[in-house]
Structure 1
Amino acid sequence: MAQARRAARLLASMKPDAIIASDLRRASNTAAELAALTGLAVEHDEALRETYAGEWQGLTHEEILHKYGEQYAAWKRGEPVRRGGGELETEVADRAAPVVLRHADLLPEGGTLVVVSHGGTIRTTIGRLLGLEPSSWESLGGLTNCCWSVLGEGARGWRLMEHNAGTLPEPVLGDDD
C-alpha cells in the first residue's frame, strides 16, 4: 500500500483525466489510491485482469520449471504457449488492448488515461499497441510493483516514451536472470 500511495502521488501530478483498472483486488486497491487524490472515479474492467496461467497459476518459478520445464522454455523463446492450459499472450492482448483504446478515444485532446493492471497484461497490451510481433513482447521487460509505462500517440501510432518509470533499475519480482 505504501508503494501504491507513492505512485499515486507521482501519477496525480500528471493530472489524469480518467482511471481504468482490473477488477482484481491489488489493481483495484492501487487505483483507489490515485482516485482518492484526483477525485476521479475508477472504471473497473475484467478484461484488464492478469493472464490466466492455467495449471501454472499459484506455482513458484521453481515449481513451474520442475513440472513444465519444456513448456516454460518454449514460452521464454517467444513461442505461443498455453502455459498450463491457460491463455496465450495474444489472447490477453485481444481482450485488454481494445479496452485501453476505447477509453483513450474518450479522452479530451492531449488527455491522460491511467490504466492499472498487472505485469503480463500490461506488457502484452503495450506490445499490441506498439504493433510489435508477439514473439518480441518479452523484450519490453517487466514492471516493478506500482511502476508504470508512458505511451503517447505520435504521427505513426503509439510510442513508448517511458518504461518501468517510478523506480531506479532493480530486479522485477517474477523476472528471471
Structure 2
Amino acid sequence: MSPGRRIVLWRHGQTAWNLERRFQGTTDIPLTTEGLNQARRSARLLAGLKPDAIISSDLIRTRATAAELVELVGLEVTHHEALRETYAGVWQGLTHQEILDQHGEQYAAWRRGEPVRRGGGELETEVADRAAPVVQAAADKLPDDGILVVVSHGGTIRTTIGKLIGLDPGAWEALGGLSNCCWSVLGDSVRGWRLLEHNAGTLPEPVLGDDD
C-alpha cells in the first residue's frame, strides 16, 4: 500500500539571533557555523527520503539550509517570499526580555491566543493565508507517494500546519515550536492532511498500531 503524499516542513539552522533570543521575523540573518553544521547533518537524513520537490523561503538562513539538501539530492529549489517568517514590526531585533518589558500586554494577549499584530506586523492567520497555499500548490504536483520538503521558519511552519490540518487559529499555539533544523511531517489521508511527526530530528518512522 502506498504511504501517500507527505510534506516535510523543515526549520532552518541556528542563527546568532536565535542564540540571543532576538525576534528575527523577516530580518535577513545568516546561519552560524553551528547552524550550517546542523543543516548538513539534517540534510543527510532527509536525503534518505528521496524527496520529489523542495521549496524554500527566500531569506538567507533558509536558502543556506535548503542548499545542503539540494547538493545531496540534485533537485532544484524554488524560493518563495510567501514562506518567510512572520513580519513583526518593532518587535524585530528585540530580545525576548525586551519584548516582555516594552510590549508585555501585547505579548500576553498573543500567548492567550488572541489575534494580535505583534509589533504592528502580521496576524498569524495572515501568515498562514500566504504560506499554506504555496505549500498546498507544490504538494498538489507530487506523485501519489511523493515527498515535498518545505524549508521555512518556526512560526510560519506552525501556522501553516494549523491551517492545513484544519485547526482553529486559537488552537495553533498548541503546536509546540520547532528546534533548529528539526522538522514536522504531514501525511495525506482520506480526510485531508494529518500531522504524523512534530519537531522530529530523525527519519520519520511508520506508526505501527491501532492508529496507523
TM-score by length of 1: 0.93
- Aligned residue for 1:102? 137
One of 135, 142, 146 as aligned partner of 1:111: 146
State the identity %. 76
**Could you say what secondary structure the match of 1:152 adopts?**
strand
Unaligned regions of 5+ residues in structure 2, if any?
1-35, 203-212
- Aligned residue for 2:88? 53
Q: Which structure dedicates a bigger proportion of its chain to helix?
A: 1
Q: CA deviation at 1:108?
A: 1.1
- Alignment coverage as a number of residue pairs: 167
Separation in structure 2 between the aligned mates of residue 147 and residue 66 of structure 1, nearest angstrom: 30
Which amino acid is 2:155 matched to?
G
- Aligned residue for 2:179? 144
Q: CA deviation at 1:107?
A: 0.8
Separation in structure 2 between the aligned mates of residue 24 and residue 85 of structure 1, nearest angstrom: 21
Separation in structure 1 between the aligned mates of residue 168 and residue 144 of structure 2, nearest angstrom: 29
4+ aligned runs moved over 6 Å, structure 1: none
Q: CA deviation at 1:135?
A: 0.8
The structure showing larger relative contact order (alpha-carbon pairs under 8 Å, at least 6 residues apart) is 2
Q: CA deviation at 1:68?
A: 0.3
One of 13, 18, 31 as aligned partner of 2:48: 13
- Aligned residue for 2:26? none
Note the 1:138-177 alignment, pairs <5 A: 138-166=173-201
- Aligned residue for 2:125? 90
Q: CA deviation at 1:100?
A: 0.2
Unaligned regions of 5+ residues in structure 1, if any?
168-177
- Aligned residue for 1:170? none
Deviations 1:58-100 (A, max 9, x none): 1000000000000000000000000010000000000000000
TM-score by length of 2: 0.78
Separation in structure 2 between the aligned mates of residue 128 and residue 59 of structure 1, nearest angstrom: 28
